[in-house]
């Protein structure tokens, strides 16, 4: 076993999207001091890396990632059926996409990785190709974690001064359904999990949490996080202030999980124009959160 920090496990996401592309760009943008590895099909990564400044380096074990960082992007090979076609998800590959997530979680749970960072998935492709029964990453991760985990989504813009962290109490539901879902119990539970996450994962011993009202004229200043009532109430301010650097964080899980705050971007996949800023921020925040939890070799 090599020395140094545990690496971050990155699930490769939808092969037809920008996931592998931004993983290569993130490695090029970082100095290698923060080790991470991607669980993906090596052939897909090689195709995405062709002509670029960073090459994939196949590793056999997560423990090999730190040394491999000196030579490129460490890849823990997971075979997929067929090549990746930018912009065109293939249902036959959906099962392998789900397997990559499960494998990454298993590496963290086994103590071979410090944290999990997930690259974007295409939910419709997973549902049609693999019968994926979960609304998205968050619910699937709660299922894998077990133990009655109640995950809460936080969007964090850590580069802002002061940082902005927002938590929607309800997520992907129509606005018309929000009033019926918002309840004292839901808000209390969301605040409780947010408070615990700020203490444990962000190292804030006495968090201040503002709660945005469902109705107009509700506000608060001088806070560490904001609990919003619905998706766009939380995301619009964060996206406006830091569109490229936002990070999706899942609180309430027994493992650290972050993700870039964007989707698969099928419309630009394979063109080499995707911005890796959100992934770089997600990797750095995952490392900070893991350190705050005391996760070490």
Cα–Cα distance, 142 to 255 (Å, whole number): 10
Number of C-alpha atoms within 13 angstroms, CB side, residue 106?
Answer: 8
| pLDDT at position 2 | 54
- The β-bridge partners of 186 are none
Q: Residues of the chain with pLDDT > 90: what percent?
A: 71
| pLDDT at position 111 | 96
Q: Does domain 1-150+282-288 have CATH number 3.40.718.10?
A: yes
| pLDDT at position 35 | 96
pTM of the model: 0.91
In this predicted model, what pLDDT tens digit does every residue of 149-182 receive, in sequence order?
Answer: 788 999 999 999 999 999 998 887 778 888 888 8
| pLDDT at position 297 | 65
* Averages of pLDDT over each 10 residues, the chain, 297 residues: 80 97 96 94 97 94 96 98 95 95 96 97 92 88 81 93 91 82 90 95 93 65 75 85 91 95 94 95 96 86
What are the residue ranges spanned by the domains of the chain?
Answer: 1-150+282-288
End-to-end Cα, the chain, rounded Å: 10
| pLDDT at position 73 | 98
| pLDDT at position 3 | 59
| pLDDT at position 1 | 47
Work out the angle at residue 57's Cα, subtended by the Cα atoms of residues 56 and 63, and round it to the nearest 5 degrees.
130
What distances in angstroms separate CA 247 from CA 163, 175, 281, 285, one per listed residue?
A: 12, 23, 7, 8
In this predicted model, what pLDDT tens digit does every residue of 282-291 receive, in sequence order?
Answer: 999 999 999 9
Contacts of 194 (CB under 8 A, 6+ apart): 152, 154, 167, 207, 209, 225, 227, 251
Cα–Cα distance, 170 to 47 (Å, whole number): 39
């Amino acid at each position: 076993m090599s020395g140094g920090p545990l690496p971050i496990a990155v699930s490769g996401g939808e092969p037809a999207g920008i996931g592998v592309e931004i993983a290569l760009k993130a490695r090029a943008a970082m100095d290698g001091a923060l080790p991470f590895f991607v669980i993906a099909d090596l052939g897909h990564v090689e195709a995405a890396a062709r002509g670029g400044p960073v090459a994939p380096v196949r590793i056999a074990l997560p423990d090999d990632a730190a040394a491999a960082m000196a030579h490129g992007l460490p890849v823990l090979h997971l075979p997929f059926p067929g090549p990746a076609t930018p912009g065109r998800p293939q249902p036959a590959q959906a099962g392998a996409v789900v397997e990559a997530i499960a494998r990454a979680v298993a590496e963290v749970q086994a103590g071979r990785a410090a944290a999990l960072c997930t690259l974007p998935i295409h939910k419709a492709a997973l549902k049609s190709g693999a019968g994926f029964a979960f609304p998205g990453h968050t619910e699937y991760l709660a299922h894998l974690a077990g133990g009655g985990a109640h995950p809460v989504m936080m969007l964090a813009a850590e580069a802002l001064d002061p940082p902005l962290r927002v938590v929607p109490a309800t997520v992907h539901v129509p606005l018309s359904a929000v009033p019926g879902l918002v309840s004292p119990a839901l808000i209390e539970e969301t605040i409780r999990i947010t408070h615990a996450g700020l203490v444990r994962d962000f190292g804030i011993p006495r968090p201040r949490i503002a709660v945005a009202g469902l109705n107009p004229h509700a506000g608060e200043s001088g806070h560490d996080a904001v609990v919003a009532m619905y998706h766009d109430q939380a995301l619009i301010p964060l996206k406006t202030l830091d569109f490229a650097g936002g990070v999706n964080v899942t609180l309430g899980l027994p493992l650290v999980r972050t993700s870039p705050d964007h989707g698969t971007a099928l419309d630009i996949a394979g063109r080499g124009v995707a911005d890796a800023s959100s992934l770089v921020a997600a990797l750095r925040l995952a490392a900070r959160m893991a350190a705050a939890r005391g996760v070490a070799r």
